[in-house]
Structures are given as C-alpha cells and as structure tokens.
C-alpha cells in the first residue's frame, strides 16, 4: 500500500496569507483509494497504529516543499507508547504537532508533556486539535502549554447563528497567549463572522482544499 500525503493551508484571516499547512494522509492500493478513517481502523485491528502513524508523518515530511509551518497529527497510542519518531535531519522548528483533544490518554497528561519536552527544546511546537469536540478539559491545556488551539469544526459550523463559543475562545486564547485556529470554515459568511469576532487564523474549504504537493512547487 502507498501512503499519499495531502496538505491544506492554514491562513491568516485578515490577509488570506498561508502561515502553514496541515498534512493529512490517504492510502492507495492500485487504483483503490483509502481514506484515513479506514486506514487507521485497519491499523487498530492489526495493532499497528504506532507504525502507521510514524510512517504517515515520514511520508508527509518527505513530500513537503514549503517553508511555512507544517502541522502534523499524532495518534494518542503513539504518545502513550512514547514512540514518536521523525526522519533524521528534520528541522523541528518548522513542525507543529497536533495532539487531539477528543481522545483520552492512558497516562497522565503531565507525563505526555514531559515526554514531548526534548522535541520542543529542538523547536517543535504543539497544537491541541478538535478542541470543544469531547472533553474540553483545561488540564490538557495547562499541562501541554500549546502554542496553537484548533477549535473543532462543529463549534465553527454554526458561528453565523451562534457566535458565543467562538467569541469566548477568542478571549480565552488572547489571555492565555495561544494562537486560535478556527477549523472547518466553508463559506464567506462564516469567514466574515470569525473575522469580526477577532479570529486571526483559520482553516477550511473556503480557503483551501486538501491537495498533493509536487517538488516543482518550490518557490
């Protein structure tokens, strides 16, 4: 099976300038494409999540040609097993590791934070992904001290009709010194509302569709 990385831009709302890309992984066997959900479901069935997770990051890093930040997902079992790896020579100062908020760890979050410290000393930053999707626990923020917080798309989908959650998160992140990213922005109306609320960074189909990169794209 071949792993195919695709990338979606994360933009500065005011200027639409891309500040980074999130890497997403797809699979392909012959002409058959396999989505990430099915990929990792099979990996869980065969107890190979950590292996697939590290392979996916390596494939994404191998395909990335831009100078902007690269946001890379990490599976919770990889951190629980303390088995996070990067290919040799990777500049971690360009990497933002996305830790999901929607899944509980087997170990205390403080232990996970300690495990990540050597990577962070090399410049790696951390984002909490899917915030507001499930547990929404402040201890995870307090322990990990993330540079970025990605507000779950479900909270952004209804922002035109109910903006209180997004407005509250803008205020919280400003006080905490965290960069807030609104996920799942798909319409001009949503983009205008989050801009009016003071959201500075966003991601979604309104700005960019996940796409493959080619080496020729280097500028």
Q: What does each of the 219 residues of the chain score in pLDDT, given as a tens digit? A: 899 999 999 999 999 999 999 999 999 988 899 999 999 999 999 999 999 999 999 999 999 989 999 999 999 999 999 999 999 999 999 999 999 876 778 888 899 999 999 999 999 999 999 887 655 568 889 999 999 999 989 889 999 999 999 999 999 999 999 999 999 999 999 999 999 999 999 999 999 999 998 643 332
pTM of the model: 0.93
**How far apart, in whole angstroms, are the C-alpha atoms of residue 117 and residue 53?**
20
Question: What pLDDT score was predicted for residue 214?
Answer: 63
Instruction: Give the list of residues 6+ apart from residue 89 with CB closer than 8 angstroms, or none.
Output: none
CA atoms within 13 Å, Cβ hemisphere of 91: 9
Structure tokens at 45: 């069935």
Question: What pLDDT score was predicted for residue 217?
Answer: 33
Structure tokens at 215: 């080496």
Question: What pLDDT score was predicted for residue 54?
Answer: 97
Question: What pLDDT score was predicted for residue 215?
Answer: 47
Closest CA to 146 of 121, 120, 165, 169: 120
Superfamily of segment(s) 2-217: EAL domain (3.20.20.450)
Question: What pLDDT score was predicted for residue 1?
Answer: 86
């Amino acid at each position: 099976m071949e792993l195919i990385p695709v990338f979606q831009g994360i933009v500065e709302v005011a200027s639409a300038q891309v500040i980074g890309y999130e890497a997403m992984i797809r699979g392909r066997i012959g002409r058959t494409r396999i989505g990430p959900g099915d990929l990792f479901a099979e990996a869980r069935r065969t107890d190979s999540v950590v292996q697939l997770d590290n392979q996916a990051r390596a494939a994404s890093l191998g395909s990335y040609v831009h100078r902007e930040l690269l946001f890379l997902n990490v599976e919770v079992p990889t951190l629980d097993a303390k088995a996070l790896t990067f290919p040799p020579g990777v500049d971690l100062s360009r990497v933002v590791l996305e830790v999901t908020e929607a899944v509980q760890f087997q170990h205390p979050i403080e232990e996970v934070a300690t495990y990540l410290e050597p990577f962070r000393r090399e410049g790696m930053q951390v984002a909490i992904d899917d915030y507001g999707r499930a547990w929404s626990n402040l201890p995870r923020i307090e322990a990990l001290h993330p540079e970025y917080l990605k507000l779950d798309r479900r909270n952004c989908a209804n922002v035109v009709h109910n903006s209180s959650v997004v407005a509250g998160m803008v205020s919280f992140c400003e006080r905490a010194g965290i960069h807030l990213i609104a996920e799942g922005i798909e319409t001009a109306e949503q983009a205008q509302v989050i801009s009016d609320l003071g959201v500075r960074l966003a991601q979604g189909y309104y700005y960019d569709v996940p796409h493959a990169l080619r080496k020729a794209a280097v500028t």
